[in-house]
Amino acid sequence: MRILILTHRVPFPQNGGYAIVVCNTIRGLVNQGHEVSLVALNARKNHHEHTDDDNYLLSKINYRAYDIDTNVSVLDVAVNLFSRTSFNIDKYYDAEFEKLLVRELRNKDYDIIQFEGLYVSLYLPAVRKASKAKLIYRSHNIENQVWQRMSEQKNDPFKKSYLKMHAKRIKNYELQQLNSFDGIAVFTNQDRNTLLGYGINIPIEELPVGLNLEHYKPDFTKTEFPSLFFLGSLDWLPNREGIEWFIENFNKDLTDGDLRVKFYVAGNDIPERFDDYDVMGKIFIQGEVDDALEFVNSKSIMIVPLMSGGGMRVKIVEGMAMQKCIISTSLGAEGINYTNHENIIIANNYDEFYEAIKLCISDEDFCKNIGINARKLMEEQHNLEKVTNMLVSFYDTIKL
């Protein structure tokens, strides 16, 4: 098959959930002999040095990135208050990119065009007119649900009202767009049920995150025990709010209390103000790390204090592949077919996190067994070849 994948950001380097999902999808399809093209919006104008893995994928596909300015001024935000749409979506529309995309589609026939998330769905009408391909929407999150859940975490009446307003606008847009595709792929059964509840009447397929498990090689001899860590991109608000909640609630326990364990925070786009959380010898705000898997391997207990958001958290899937003992909220672990206290530990409030951390830092064998069982779950249900077969079968049913 000839497959075109559209993304709202460049998936290189592969250092975040979105990029990892996109690149593993490409890898799986290429490995099966399909012809893959990738067209990406480049909001960050990212011109990094490619890794060997990036270069391998780029050598196997047709790739084009288009620079786009997604900066929004204070005036734009103010004007948007009187609009029916959300600037968080509108800022990804670029008329020149749409023309480029239409030219691409007129010059080449595709069997499948896959839209990776809501932001590139802005180009759906133009793509539909220019191509006879079947159009697939991959739902990384139910976007309005992310905003609604964030609003529920706010105590400030203005912030709560503002977030609810955007949730409503984004929901209206989602409902308007999604039935215009030929099929939808979701990561979790929860997201599938949500879309069915919205009245979406096109085929919806649940496909888990697929990993090339050969990349994940845990080495306990290089792991610090006990140690806590968080890894995630803080340009995604649910991640930022989750880790802020954790640090503000556990700061005293980690620095002066009974939780005798070092805590490391790493990831992309960590605000400078997070430096204030750094406590010498106890809490380490490391920022972006050169090798995410090496960082994960070096620590023993992963925390995912996610209070809003949706979809499947790729960092948890990767952490399980690396045999980590993971403490997560039930929302953070959504979509993963876990068993609590067998291959993950679920904690949804301060008391549950406290007890889970206390248990884990005092029992290394318990942590190792949780991690070993987590890896087994990944091998059974998140193997890239198996997930790719499911995706291609979905394509085939849509093409009929």
Q: Do domains 2-210+384-399 and 214-381 have the same CATH topology?
A: yes
Q: How many CB atoms lie within 10 A of CB 173?
A: 20
**What integer best gives the mean pLDDT of the chain?**
93
DSSP tag of 121: G
Integer Cα distance of 217 and 108 in angstroms? 40
79-95 pLDDT per residue, tens: 666 667 788 898 999 99
Q: Which sign, positive or negative, has the C-alpha torsion 156, 158, 159, 165?
A: positive
Band (13; pLDDT cuts 50, 70, 90): confident
Nearest CA among 82, 76, 40 for reference residue 57:
40
- Position 48 pLDDT exceeds 70: no
Q: Which two tokens stand for residue 119?
A: 């932001």
DSSP tag of 334: T
Q: Is 210 left (phi over 0), alpha (psi -120 to 50) or beta?
A: beta
- Position 202 pLDDT exceeds 80: yes
- Given a contact cutoff of 8 angstroms between Cβ atoms, the answer to whether 353 and 328 are in contact is no
Which residue ranges make up each domain of the chain? 2-210+384-399, 214-381
- How much is the pLDDT for 81? 66
- Position 166 pLDDT exceeds 90: no
287-320 pLDDT per residue, tens: 999 899 999 999 999 999 999 877 778 999 999 9
Please state, for a pLDDT cut of 70, what percent of the chain lies above it.
96
Enumerate the β-bridge partners of residue 259. Answer: none
CATH topology of domain 2-210+384-399: Rossmann fold (3.40.50)
Q: Which two tokens stand for residue 8?
A: 């709202």
Range scoring the smallest mean pLDDT among 61-75, 245-259, 281-295: 61-75
Integer Cα distance of 170 and 143 in angstroms? 7
pTM listed for this prediction: 0.91
Q: How many CB atoms lie within 10 A of CB 165?
A: 15
Residue 314 C-beta-side C-alpha neighbours within 13 Å: 21
Question: Which positions ≥6 away from 78 have C-beta within 8 Å?
Answer: none
132-155 pLDDT per residue, tens: 999 999 999 998 988 888 888 888
CATH topology of domain 214-381: Rossmann fold (3.40.50)
DSSP tag of 49: P
DSSP tag of 75: H
Single-letter residue type at 82: F
